[in-house]
Chain A
Amino acid sequence: MKILEANHLVKSFGSLEVLKDISIEVKKGEVLAIIGPSGSGKSTLLRCITQLEDVDNGEIVICGETLCAKGENGKAQYASKQQRRKIGLHLGLVFQNFNLFPHLSVIQNVMNPQTEVLKKSKDEAEKHAKELLAKVGLTEKENAYPCELSGGQQQRVSIARAMAMNPDLLLFDEPTSALDPELTGEILKVIKGLAKLKTTMVIVTHEMSFAKNVADRVVFMDNGYIIADGTPSEIFDNTDNTRIREFLAKFDD
């Protein structure tokens, strides 16, 4: 079953074309890593899928529901506002810089979206939040505030917060890029754990060995195009594409 299907996405900011012709799909239970140089459009792609940006044209279907269709006049036809919000609930996004709510404690960060958006009861939300915080190893910090946590801990809370909404697809936008090298390990461990549980994920990352080890499929983006889409060994070990080789060579030392 396809969780995400995107076809021929085009997106410009002014005269700068960021996504030129992007087609991508993600099946249930699959872990997809998106790699590529800075400015290649990886983050913009995630932002378009999560509706933080609207594509100029192209088709996005999430869990069988059409978010936008390719328009005849060259402009994407988006679903109704109500439908868009409903489709958004299929997705969870983990940001590069966490974006936790600073005025709420750790457990409130994980509970609040459940009570406010999913209209769950407080007890139910609390129970779910405690399970998730245990999963990411932060049970002891549930009453702390985000400003009292390390970056790695904050990112684990934000993963728990995204998971709390029971998304069908979890997207990560460079989840370790704002962290010290020694803290990236704890995040990668959490994501590995989620992969073991067959959580469907799309991960934009610069951690090449992580992408190689955890992803089922790897997509290489460059300059607004998808240049390669294959298994980790196809991308990392057996590619004859010089652009990809050049890029990977920078990570070798």
Chain B
Amino acid sequence: MDFASIIQSIFGSINVEIFFSKMLAGALTTLEIFFLTLLFSLPLGMLLCLGRMSHLKVVSMPVRLYLLVMRGTPLMLQILFVFFGLQPLFGIQVDRFSATIIAFSLNYAAYFCEIYRGGMESIPKGQFEAAKVLGYSKSTSFFKIILPQVIKRIIPPMGNEFITLVKDTSLAKIIAVVELMKVTEEYVNSAVNVVPFFVAAVFYLVMNGVVSRFFSVVEKKLSYYN
């Protein structure tokens, strides 16, 4: 038996070529969800963090409520709500993919907010004081002195969150976004063959392998000081 026929026997009735091209397309959608979510939630999380740390209660209290709702309810529920709930309540209809990005971004921003806050609060008070006495404005002190140190400190929890996000993208299948998990499930159901599960697992593992490699490189780059 040659290699091609071994492969075909594993996949049974599945057309391997079509299967892999569909899986790749699904993986591409998964990556789109991943990157677009980061694009929106990383800055949004920083804004939330500044609000959360504000001394003004009118600012910090709504942010706290937001964090409670976003972290206290399932992401799946939030995805369903954005896709099905906005139309009857506010008359806004969003397509499946946009609903996914909106729900993921709002949800992940809440987690990033708390990671940023942890980072900010771990910076010694003396750093803020030194910058203030030297005459740095609040924004310069934040961007030039505090933020670079915060970034170094939040690398490990951020790595966790990124890895979780790669896996969480699979929740998008609940509103029929054709990402990796959706493709996998359709194949398993129609071909009555569990091999696609293993293939999907390899896809996710490869993506997260890249993510964790990326984080160890960044961590190493920032290890020039303690």
Interface string of B120-138 (1 = CB under 8 A from A): 0000101101111111110
Question: How many Å from the CB of B155 to the closest CB on chain A?
Answer: 13
The answer on a CB contact under 8 Å between B140 and A99 is: no
Chain A neighbourhood of B133, CB < 8 A:
50-52, 88, 91-93
The answer on a CB contact under 8 Å between A112 and B130 is: no
- Complex alpha-carbon distance, A32 and B130, angstroms: 22
The answer on a CB contact under 8 Å between B134 and A103 is: no
| Residues of chain B from 88 to 139 with CB closer than 8 A to chain A in the complex | 124, 126-127, 129-137
| Residues of chain A from 158 to 174 with CB closer than 8 A to chain B in the complex | 161-162, 165
Partner of B130 from the list A51, A99, A103 (CB cut-off 8 Å) is A99
Instruction: Report which residue of B134, B136, B137 has the largest number of chain A beta carbons within 10 angstroms of its beta carbon.
Output: B134
Q: Sort A-B residue pairs by CB-CB distance and give the 3 closest, nearest first.
A: A99-B126, A99-B130, A117-B135
- Chain A, residue nearest B135 (CB): A117
Q: A99-B129, A102-B226, A162-B134 are in contact. List 9 more A-B contacts (CB 8 A).
A: A88-B132, A88-B135, A93-B133, A99-B124, A101-B127, A103-B148, A103-B149, A113-B135, A147-B226
Interface: B144 (CB within 8 A): yes
- Chain A, residue nearest B129 (CB): A52
The answer on a CB contact under 8 Å between A145 and B140 is: no
Chain A neighbourhood of B130, CB < 8 A:
95, 99-101
Chain B neighbourhood of A93, CB < 8 A:
133
Are A103 and B126 CB-contacts (below 8 A) given A93-B133, A113-B134?
no
- Complex alpha-carbon distance, A95 and B145, angstroms: 17
Chain A neighbourhood of B226, CB < 8 A:
102, 147
Are A52 and B132 CB-contacts (below 8 A) given A102-B149, A103-B149, A147-B226?
yes
Interface: B152 (CB within 8 A): yes
Interface: B225 (CB within 8 A): yes
- Chain A, residue nearest B124 (CB): A99
Are A116 and B144 CB-contacts (below 8 A) given A51-B132, A88-B133?
yes
- Chain A, residue nearest B140 (CB): A116
Chain B neighbourhood of A85, CB < 8 A:
135, 137
- Complex alpha-carbon distance, A117 and B134, angstroms: 8
Interface: A89 (CB within 8 A): yes
Interface: B3 (CB within 8 A): no
Chain B neighbourhood of A52, CB < 8 A:
129, 132-133
